[in-house]
Chain A
Amino acid sequence: MFKPSWIRRGILAAALGSSVVVATPALAQERELLNSSYDIARELFSAINPDFIAYWEAEHGESVGVQQSHGGSSAQARAIMQGLRADVVTYNQVTDVQVLADAGLVAEEWQQALPNNASPYYSTTAFLVRKDNPKGIESWDDLVREDVRIVFPNPKTSGNGRYTYLAAWGFAEQAFDGDEEQIHDFMRTFLRNVAVFDTGGRGATTSFIERGLGDVLISFESEVNNIRGEYGSDDYEVIVPPVSILAEFPVAVVESNAQRNGTEDLARGYLDYLYSEEGQRTLAGFNYRVHHEAVVEEFAEQFPETELLRVEEVFGSWEQAMEAHFAGGALLDQLQRR
């Protein structure tokens, strides 16, 4: 059976460091939507967009086009602040949408505008280990063992990496009952076990798969499942730890741009479509966890039950987490100091 090697292509495109705009064929006078999204969502939206276009045509009798732009989601948000006329954003970090809201480009109450904190799908942080799990890695405390080397992207440059850091912290906080000194020790060892800090998720995948670095790759559950599907389910195993972090994928309309482009209804329709049964099924097919009950039931086997910690519960808010952990000179910097 032919299986397109889309992760490989994604890696190459990501590696070229470019935020590529992929056009879905469209006529010149058609209304067009520009979706600014995160790096590893290329394949996902390439699958969703044609479905949405067909849906919109059937529903409203209007033929429209959807363009995608992908890159690190902070860089993507920066591009919009500097004038990129994207109509909607679909990111993997709440903070990157919040930055746009703070700049007045996205509605202040964007998280209330759509169900589930404006996050149509979610995921968590999971492990990819080599065949037969030779190091017996089951949870976060296995990752601080002396014989284990970890690969995950740099929390300084990658939202994906930040989730991994926060998940490990959340685990440690539970395990050590909030004892600060023990948590710090745990995190210090955890960070020291990192084999290589790539700047983004796809780079980390390359290091783990192609270069053979490390014993475990940590990334979104969706991503590790996709990687396993791509590179051989016999060679790798996915481990979902018993405790991990809830990773939301927030979406929002970039109001000022949509107004100017005359695409407000289209933009809202696009985001609503992500919540529809059809949209949710596509999302689940890409190993994202979804909310639509029928779809959840259908894919129940694919997603092991696990305790998902909310960033807001463990760290107060995203803002506080960023401030206390990832800002210059904050905890992450201190823990990495030697």
Chain B
Amino acid sequence: MSLALPRLTGRRRVLPGFGLSLGISLMFVSLVLLLPMTSLVGQLSGISLAEYWAIISDGRVVASYTVTIGAAALAALVNGAFGLLLAWVLVRYEFPGKRLLDALMDLPFALPTAVAGITLATLYASNGWMGRLLEPLGLQVAYTWVGIALAMAFTSIPFVVRTVQPVLEDLPQEVDEAALTLGASDATAFRRVILPHLWPALVTGTGLAFVRSLGEFGAIIFIAGNMPFETEITALMIFVKLQEYDYVGASAIASVVLMVSLALLLAINVWQGRFIKRLHGGRG
């Protein structure tokens, strides 16, 4: 039962030569990513370190970091949990409307974020459908910190689902069946067999969701209330600086967001590399 495969002669690849493809990729990265970032950092060359520090450590701006990072962390954690569940449901079960639910997952990407923000604010304001139910329970969502987290969770849920989903699809159901026949309890099978395979994707997805939330503006601004020191997000601080024609100030604050995002993504990448090595190296 041998199958005759057409032989590829030499080391032919689908795309033309290494030199050309690398060159084009680098040029693309430079144009689309590096150039704007360089100009952002370039804006900062006009000010001294002390001035830079004064801008980014201003009390109101620092308060906005706390609000943004806190809400983004909450949103990312909630999305981590529910995104995993959603991916699981989408991969492991067959049910009517599955395709629709699957397509729905991309909606937050497709929808203009401002529309999302207005919709959420309408729903959760004290005269909105949800707000009317929640307010008597003493839970105010719109125009509070919780509303910010909600808007962030909405815009970033696809990151978790779409990173976990393919990994879960590659993990055959036989794997958990094998664990069960070998005497593992459901919980153990999930914790010791399935979860380790999903960790890298889950952490990456959650990390991306977090980073995305740090920079989100449109969806949040309509539900945040924007009260100084309470519900002002960092993106608004940047917007305010631009309104004042203060490009340097805006760039300075933006650079803080950029550095936090970059550091986090880098850390996740490094961790992921080690984790996968350990996973395949067979040592726990």
Contact = CB atoms under 8 A, between A and B. Distances in A.
Interface of A: 15-17, 72, 74-75, 78, 99, 154, 156-157, 194-199, 203, 206, 210-213, 326-329, 333, 336-338
Interface of B: 55, 58-60, 112, 114-115, 118, 121-122, 125-128, 142-143, 218, 221-222, 225-229, 236, 239-246, 249
A327 B60 contact: no
Nearest to B124: A211
Contacts of A15: 114-115, 118, 222
Contacts of B229: 336-338
B114 A211 contact: no
Contacts of A17: 114, 218
A297 B271 CA distance: 75
A36 to B, nearest CB: 16
B142 A337 contact: no
A29 to B, nearest CB: 35
Nearest to B230: A338
Given A72-B243, A75-B243, A156-B240, A212 B226 contact: no
16 contacts: A17-B218, A74-B242, A74-B243, A78-B245, A196-B225, A196-B227, A197-B228, A198-B226, A199-B226, A211-B125, A211-B126, A213-B125, A213-B143, A327-B244, A328-B55, A337-B229
A279 B142 CA distance: 42
Nearest to B221: A199
Nearest to A72: B243
A196 B226 contact: yes
Given A196-B227, A211-B121, A212-B125, A328 B249 contact: yes
A206 B142 CA distance: 13
A16 B242 CA distance: 19
A232 to B, nearest CB: 16
A333 B60 contact: yes
Question: Lowest 6 A-B CB distances belong to which pairs?
Answer: A211-B125, A197-B226, A336-B228, A156-B240, A212-B127, A196-B225
A211 B122 CA distance: 7
Contacts of A203: 222
Contacts of A333: 60
A333 B128 CA distance: 32
Contacts of B227: 194, 196-197
A194 B58 CA distance: 23
Given A15-B114, A99-B245, A211-B125, A157 B225 contact: no
A328 B126 contact: no
A42 B127 CA distance: 29
A184 to B, nearest CB: 16
Contacts of A199: 221, 226, 236, 239
B216 to A, nearest CB: 13
Nearest to A157: B243
Contacts of B242: 74-75, 78
Given A16-B112, A326-B244, A333-B60, 17 more contacts: A15-B114, A16-B114, A78-B245, A99-B245, A156-B244, A157-B239, A194-B227, A196-B143, A197-B226, A197-B227, A199-B239, A211-B121, A211-B122, A213-B125, A328-B249, A337-B60, A337-B229
